[in-house]
A = this chain, B = another copy of it.
Amino acid sequence: MRTYARMTGLYAPTLKEDPAEAELASHRLLLRAGMIRKSASGLYSYLPLAWRSLMKIEAVIRDEMEGIGAQEMLVPILTDGELWRQSGRWSAYGPELMRLMDRHEREFALGPTHEESFTDLVRNELRSYKQLPVTLYQIQDKFRDELRPRFGLMRGREFIMKDGYSFDADVEGMQKSYNDEKGAYARICERVGLRALPVVADSGQIGGDTSVEFMALADAGEAEIVYCDGCGFAADTEAARAPINLVEGEEGDLQKLETPGCGTIADLAAFLKVPEAATRKALALVDGDGKPWVCFVPGDHEMNDVKAEHAFGAYHMMSDEELVQYGLVKGFIGPIDLPEGVGSCADESLHDSAWWAIGANDAGYHYVHAKQGRDFTIGRWVDVITAKAGDRCPKCGAPLKAARGIEVGQVFQLGTKYSETMGATFADPDGVEKPFQMGCYGIGVSRMLAAVVEQHHDEHGISFPVAVAPYEVEVVPLDVNDDVVWPVASHVAEELLAAGVEVIVDDRKERPGVKFADADLMGFPYQVVCGKKAIKNGNVELKVRATGERTEVAIDEVASLLSARIASERA
């Protein structure tokens, strides 16, 4: 019979101080709790506690993959350079692809992803449409030589990834495989305790999405997203096309107002005593072909760089010198009397806006009651603004919320991109050779652990959900040498173990304060504190890490109470 785990048998060197190099909570807390250690820039060891959590995340992934019929396997990390040449990525990938030569001077890459390997694997063995569909996946260390590795497990150079690849006979099949994965990914996020949103990265031409990123909501996230609590819509602010709450300027006859010093939207709105949304912002730029433009957007929205590149190519905002060169007056640009040769365009959200408050192309003057169609016309409509909280959900019209997100997974319809270039074909029912319709699906497993910590921590440390906690319960005997306290702690731990609970006992000869601090730092969901006073009443103290709630529970009841509660909280 095995006995319960003990803190003295656990390698988890905790740190009392915050490590200077760690900006993010997850980076800081995983280091402090003795769960990870840096071995070189962007390279981390997962110590035993982190490894237990990672194994739980992997188990959830495996279970959901089995549920959709995806099959686990493993291809080598070393991938033949020849395969990368076939796909064209040997030259396209750049320095992020880690390369080496073997002793026979043959080139290899350390796989950052394995589209080539899996396409190569099946291309001579999946020969008929009858064998399709097939979805294969693996969980494996991946390598990307990031220019600036940072944020601990968030952006490392070696990281654990689940990557999967589907092979279908036609587009409909690929879409089904893709949708199966998308559903599984949403369930995986939920089961590991992550609040994550499926953010549409790209919309298909036929309808439906062709790529979705799963974004775990967290202030530390690198991506900005808007989402709808009502219908579940979510999009990157850079990609969203969300209707805005259009606020019109005042109606009236065109009037040129002296607006001294009102060179910004904030100044103008304050001067006019209207919300910024009722004003219009003019942005002067030169497009990729060298043509000057003035682009108008609502006063309370920003132009987005990615969208602007779609609209204007390799554009740049005009410098002060260029403004002068094109006859534009900084801070007072408007659509009426624009200088010769400067194009006028506006964001689509202003298409139906009648009344504008806008610069007069005259230093120190703005127009109010400028009416589109009467006083000016816009030559071209573009989609360039960044969506923001309060804009309307494009699906259901409800107000959107804004958040930051950590990309923990992505599903992608590849189509025939790899199968065509690498000559991976099958025979259709008529005997015609066709390239596979492929999908690829990735989860950042180690990053997912960091994301869980970002969502589940407080000022005292990590507060793991049961689903991915290294241990579910920590038993804390306040004095291991006490001949009343220790037997109770040991008894409770044995009972928990017998009930199938993952329990660890802090059997160190440390002060209670040290034990409490470490327990809160490591974030086991439940703590059973065994002290003399409570035991005198036949009780132990049960602390819920997430809420801080403490209750006294009878010694003989705590194991059954906890095991029932934990069973309902497992992944």
Interface of A toward B, CB cutoff 8 Å: 2, 9-11, 13, 37, 39-40, 43-48, 50-51, 54, 66-67, 69, 71-80, 95, 98-100, 102-103, 106, 108, 110, 117, 120-122, 125-126, 134, 136, 140-141, 143, 145, 147, 157-158
A125 touches B13 (CB 8 A): yes
Closest to A47 in B: B73
Interface centre among A11, A47, A106 (most CB of B within 10 A): A11
Residues on B with C-beta less than 8 A from A102 are 98, 145, 157
Counting every copy of the chain, the complex holds: 2
A39 touches B158 (CB 8 A): no
A69 to B145, CA, bound (A): 36
Residues on B with C-beta less than 8 A from A126 are 13
B67 touches A2 (CB 8 A): yes
- How far apart are A48's CB and chain B's nearest CB, in angstroms? 4
B145 touches A76 (CB 8 A): no
B100 touches A98 (CB 8 A): yes
7 shortest interchain CB distances as A-B pairs: A100-B100, A13-B125, A48-B71, A43-B76, A45-B75, A95-B103, A46-B74
Residues on B with C-beta less than 8 A from A95 are 103
A78 touches B121 (CB 8 A): no
4 additional contacts (CB under 8 A) given A9-B69, A40-B76, A45-B117: A40-B78, A45-B73, A48-B71, A103-B145
- How far apart are A107's CB and chain B's nearest CB, in angstroms? 11
- B71, B103, B158: the one contacting A147 at CB < 8 Å is B103
Closest to A160 in B: B74
A411 to B158, CA, bound (A): 29
- How far apart are A263's CB and chain B's nearest CB, in angstroms? 44
13 A-B pairs, CB-CB below 8 angstroms?
A2-B67, A10-B71, A13-B126, A37-B121, A39-B121, A40-B76, A40-B78, A45-B73, A45-B117, A51-B74, A76-B141, A98-B102, A99-B100
- B43, B77, B106, B108: the one contacting A141 at CB < 8 Å is B77
A436 to B143, CA, bound (A): 32
Residues on B with C-beta less than 8 A from A77 are 77, 141, 158
A40 to B79, CA, bound (A): 8
B100 touches A74 (CB 8 A): no
- How far apart are A355's CB and chain B's nearest CB, in angstroms? 55
Interface centre among A9, A44, A48, A74 (most CB of B within 10 A): A74
Closest to A147 in B: B103
Residues on B with C-beta less than 8 A from A74 are 45-46, 51, 54
- How far apart are A480's CB and chain B's nearest CB, in angstroms? 14
Closest to A94 in B: B103
Residues on B with C-beta less than 8 A from A145 are 102-103
Residues on B with C-beta less than 8 A from A46 are 73-74
A78 touches B143 (CB 8 A): yes
Residues on B with C-beta less than 8 A from A11 are 71, 73, 122, 134, 136
Q: Given A2-B66, A98-B100, check contact A39 B120 (CB 8 Å).
A: yes
Closest to A158 in B: B76
- How far apart are A83's CB and chain B's nearest CB, in angstroms? 8
A465 to B158, CA, bound (A): 36
B51 touches A73 (CB 8 A): yes
- How far apart are A4's CB and chain B's nearest CB, in angstroms? 12
- B45, B48, B103, B140: the one contacting A76 at CB < 8 Å is B45
Closest to A40 in B: B80
- How far apart are A174's CB and chain B's nearest CB, in angstroms? 17
Residues on B with C-beta less than 8 A from A69 are 9
A37 to B120, CA, bound (A): 11
Closest to A156 in B: B76
A71 to B11, CA, bound (A): 8
A121 to B12, CA, bound (A): 12
Residues on B with C-beta less than 8 A from A121 are 37, 39, 45
A134 to B74, CA, bound (A): 31
A120 to B39, CA, bound (A): 8
Residues on B with C-beta less than 8 A from A120 are 39
A141 to B75, CA, bound (A): 11
Closest to A9 in B: B69
A108 to B110, CA, bound (A): 13
Interface centre among A120, A122, A125, A134 (most CB of B within 10 A): A125
Residues on B with C-beta less than 8 A from A10 are 71
- How far apart are A55's CB and chain B's nearest CB, in angstroms? 8
A158 touches B78 (CB 8 A): yes
